[in-house]
Amino acid sequence: MPAELRTARLLLRQWRTDDLEALAEIYKQPEYLAHMRAVDRDGTAKQIEQFMHRWQDDGVCQWAAVDLGTDRLIGRIGLLRHHDWPLAPSPIEVGWVLHRDYWGQGLATEGGRAAMDCWRDLLLDDAQLISITVPANDRSRAVMKRLGLTYRGTAQWRGLDVVWYAIDR
């Protein structure tokens, strides 16, 4: 998986420790908290550290998503391997979290499509790519559909009721 990738409007790059404040700000937004659990500053720092290690451990990870027009970190987009997914052994998920100021502009779809292209190019044994969200997150579900993923069902995961979509290789 490339350490850096450019789309028309995004720079998708590896994480740096100085990304902490921007990501922590996103995790405080009421719109984020409507669908996800709260992550405090220490938890955000730990997550960034985990992202840095997942490149080596799993061969895939979500990139830091930077707006090319402003050079601002606006979220995270990419691939994550979930070793705790209850329905299949360690699948790879395509996912995204964006600052609310960047919603509705097609950036999750743009970045998600780039991540899916990388997944297709990787020589991994995974026959399926999944995407996960809570049932009420209609925006993410719409992105999943635009990316060609289809609804596969519900699950209990990390104490949450979630829906999941998938696409076969």
Rounded Cα distance between 29 and 52, Å, is: 24
Q: What is the pLDDT of residue 117?
A: 94
Alpha-carbon dihedral angle through residues 141, 142, 147, 150, given to the nearest 10 degrees: 50
Q: What is the pLDDT of residue 114?
A: 97
Q: What is the pLDDT of residue 100?
A: 95
Is residue 137 within 8 Å of 168, Cβ to Cβ? Answer: no
Q: What is the pLDDT of residue 14?
A: 95
CATH of the domain at 46: 3.40.630.30
Rounded Cα distance between 95 and 106, Å, is: 14
Q: What is the pLDDT of residue 1?
A: 79
pTM, rounded to two decimals: 0.92
Q: What is the pLDDT of residue 11?
A: 98
Q: What is the pLDDT of residue 159?
A: 87
Question: From first to last of its 169 residues, what are the pLDDT tens digits of the chain?
Answer: 788 999 999 999 999 999 999 999 999 988 887 888 889 999 999 999 999 988 888 889 999 999 999 999 999 999 999 988 888 888 999 999 999 999 999 999 999 999 999 999 886 778 899 999 999 999 999 999 999 999 999 999 988 899 999 999 8
Domain count, the chain: 1
Which structural domain range is residue 27 located in? 4-168
Q: What is the pLDDT of residue 33?
A: 77
Is residue 5 within 8 Å of 12, Cβ to Cβ? Answer: yes
